[in-house]
Homo-oligomer: A and B are copies of this chain.
Amino acid sequence: MRSAHSLAFRQFEEVLSDIKIKLLSTDDTAVLEYLSDLSIPSTSITSPFQMTWEADSDWEPEDPSAVSSGSCMLIPVPLTEREGKLLRSVGYAEAEPATSTYQFLDDDTFILHTSYGQSIAEERIWFVSDNVRCRSSVLRTSGGSGVLQTSFASEVRRMPAE
């Protein structure tokens, strides 16, 4: 369940999504190709994964069956145990490849910063139980202080069927 808030227009968006997260091998072909393009050695990465999603938004009322979907490869490049970079084959705010910086706060909240051409995104992910996590995002103008949109997702883990 994801809610987005457009602050200037005081508009809410409600989205129901199915998200699949699949751990990839560090010698996965697509991973190695992506790293090769960026001249990053494969020994510097850990736990790459693939995210695919199907999202159903209430902002598409003319076609209730309209479902947007996508897929993205994410590759962590740790600098220390608590911080590093995250490579994304598709960005969050804009659909271009992106490099984010991440850190863990002292309660293990995961913080992700990404600069895009027109905007800056801060995302936070924290687990509220073993199988429920929250994810927030704040999107601001690349100039800096103008906050364009926030969003919040409550995500319930479902184990894949065998």
Instruction: Give the residues from 89 to 143 in chain A that come closer than 8 angstroms, CB to CB, to chain B.
Output: 105-107, 109, 111, 122, 128-130, 132, 134, 136, 138, 140
Chain B residues near A1: list those with CB within 8 A: 5, 7, 10, 12
Is A152 located at the chain interface by the 8 A CB criterion?
A: yes
Q: How large is the interface on A (under 10, 10 to 19, 20 to 34, 35 or more residues)?
A: 20 to 34
State which of B10, B16, B132, B136 has its C-beta within 8 Å of the C-beta of A16: B10
| 8 Å CB contact of A152 from B3, B14, B111, B132 | B3
Contact call A122/B132, Cβ cutoff below 8 A: no
Q: Give the Cβ gap from A79 to chain B, nearest Cβ, in Å.
A: 17
CB closest chain-B residue, reference A6: B1
A128 touches B134 (CB 8 A): no
- A147 to B128 alpha-carbon distance, docked (Å): 8
The listed residue (B10, B105, B107, B132) touching A147 by CB distance below 8 A is: B132
A26 contacts partner chain B, Cβ-Cβ < 8 Å: no
A23 sits at the interface (CB 8 A):
no
Q: How far is the CA of A107 from the CA of B66 in the complex (A)?
A: 39
Query: For the complex, what is the distance from the CA of A10 to the CA of B153, rounded to whole Å?
Result: 12
A66 to B145, alpha carbons, bound, how many Å?
A: 35
Q: Contact mask A24-65 → B, CB, 8 Å, 1/0?
A: 000000000000000000000000000000000000000000
Instruction: Check A12 against B3 for contact (C-beta < 8 Å).
Output: yes
Please tell me which one of the listed residues B109, B122, B130, B138 contacts residue A105 in the complex, with CB atoms under 8 A apart: B109
Contact indicator A128/B111 (Cβ below 8 Å): no
Asked whether A128 and B132 contact (CB < 8 A) given A7-B1, A109-B105, the answer is no
